[in-house]
Amino acid sequence: MTDSVDHAPDRSGPHATFFDGSSSRRRLVDIAFSDRLRIADGDGPLASWDYADIRRADAPPGVLRLRCLSAPALARLEIVDAADIARCIELCPDLDAAEARRGTLRVVVLGLAASASMLGIVLFGLPLIADRITPLVPQEVDRRIGDAAERQVRTVFGDKTCNAREGAAALSALVGKVRGAADLAPGQDPIVVSSPIANAFALPGGKVVIVSGLIAKAENADEIAGVLGHEFGHLKHRDSMRNLVHAGGLSFLAGMMFGDVSGSGSLVFASRTLITASYSREVEQDADTFAIDTMHRLGRPPQALGNLLMRISKSQGGDDVSWLSSHPLTQDRLERMGSDDVASGGPPLLSSEQWAALKAICGPARKI
């Protein structure tokens, strides 16, 4: 306080301001640089600090604020006289030791190590973790998640399921054949929901949902069989659960790494999207392989799936809710299906009547 200075008697030694760390009282003190830094006021000594224990504390420019390791933690001595400041810097060997020990380099090296290990975990650890954990999760959990997802699907699509009797029977026959060839236990028939969107997905727990736009776009039963084979591949590999474990772990890791760095929400989202895309690409490849193998066993052409994908991609262009958004049509996918053009020696999967019934599963009047 400025007015307090008026009351200060003349002093011989250098002046400083002292806070003893146990009260907020501001004391104008004398300091003496002897064997230790001695702090005293008119009534006698207040403290003496060992030079080796003295550290710099944050202060505004022009002020040297000191603390002492062997004094109360919040005791502070503030020096403003330039000569005294220089003297202190000269006498205290470890004045900036705390700052040096923190070392930005150390933090950066630590940070780099942390990011490298994080990258390793994300690229190699997470897929492994997903592979290992998924078999440990009881099928019951898959079914429960599947039930929950089915409710959402029904809510989104307004409960417009298609089950014209003959169409359902044809679908059932087709599914039976694919299941047989894929060596899958008999299960529930796919749910067909009515919507112009061309899409199909496997729900955890064993259900497959076909959105009727896909049936409308298909030109023969082989194409639907290819889609079924692909989705059954996901079911067989429990890919929903694997994706869930993978995505959950990834969100957690990404959030952890970036924390509250401003704008990181979109960054987390972007990196997650990229990594999920590359992971799901592997998963999709495996499902394609499964579909191709299944078609081979049926003696039907595997490239039917590719043809269907091609047609959807041509007709829908930028439609981002189609099958293509989650199953991007890449050149290598097409090539894999196309090059595998083995003689289609097997019998047709559905008769032409059955095929017509399947096409009309959402009712003949419906024009898509």
Which CB atom, from 270 or from 368, has the smaller least distance to other proteins? 270
DSSP for 234-303, please give it: HHHTTHHHHHHHHHHHHHHHHHHHHTT-TTHHHHHHHHHHHHHHHHHHHHHHHHHHHHHHHHHHHT--TH
Minimum distance between the CB of residue 312 and other proteins, rounded to whole angstroms?
Answer: 14
Which CB atom, from 89 or from 108, has the smaller least distance to other proteins? 108
Rounded Cα distance, 264 and 260, in Å: 7
Residues facing residue 28 across a β-bridge: 17
DSSP for 30-60, please give it: EEEESSSEEEEETTEEEEEE-GGGEEEE---
Residue found by looking up tokens 């008697």 in the block: 9
Residues 180-239 close enough to bind other proteins by CB under 8 A: none
Minimum distance between the CB of residue 262 and other proteins, rounded to whole angstroms?
Answer: 5
Minimum distance between the CB of residue 330 and other proteins, rounded to whole angstroms?
Answer: 3
Which CB atom, from 264 or from 289, has the smaller least distance to other proteins? 264
Do 337 and 288 contact (CB within 8 A), yes or no? yes
Residue found by looking up tokens 């290992």 in the block: 132
Residues 268-297 close enough to bind other proteins by CB under 8 A: 270-271, 274, 277-278, 281
Minimum distance between the CB of residue 281 and other proteins, rounded to whole angstroms?
Answer: 6
Residues 54-83 close enough to bind other proteins by CB under 8 A: 57-61, 63, 65, 74-76
- The reply to whether 340 sits near other proteins by the rule CB under 8 A is no
Torsion 184-287-309-294 (CA) sign: negative
Q: Is 2 helix (H, G, I), strand (E, B) or coil?
A: helix
Residues 18-37 close enough to bind other proteins by CB under 8 A: 19-28
Rounded Cα distance, 19 and 140, in Å: 66
- DSSP 8-state code for residue 123: I
Options 14, 41, 50, 69; binder of other proteins; rule CB under 8 A: 41
Which CB atom, from 133 or from 356, has the smaller least distance to other proteins? 133
Residues 135-164 close enough to bind other proteins by CB under 8 A: 141, 144-145, 147-149, 151-152, 154-155
- The reply to whether 110 sits near other proteins by the rule CB under 8 A is yes
- The reply to whether 132 sits near other proteins by the rule CB under 8 A is no
- The reply to whether 112 sits near other proteins by the rule CB under 8 A is yes
Do 327 and 321 contact (CB within 8 A), yes or no? no
Q: CA nearest 81: which of 3, 16, 19?
A: 16
Residues 300-339 close enough to bind other proteins by CB under 8 A: 328, 330-332
Fill in the per-residue mask, 228 to 267: x = in contact with other proteins (CB under 8 A), - = not in contact: --------------------x---x--xxxxxxxxxxxxx
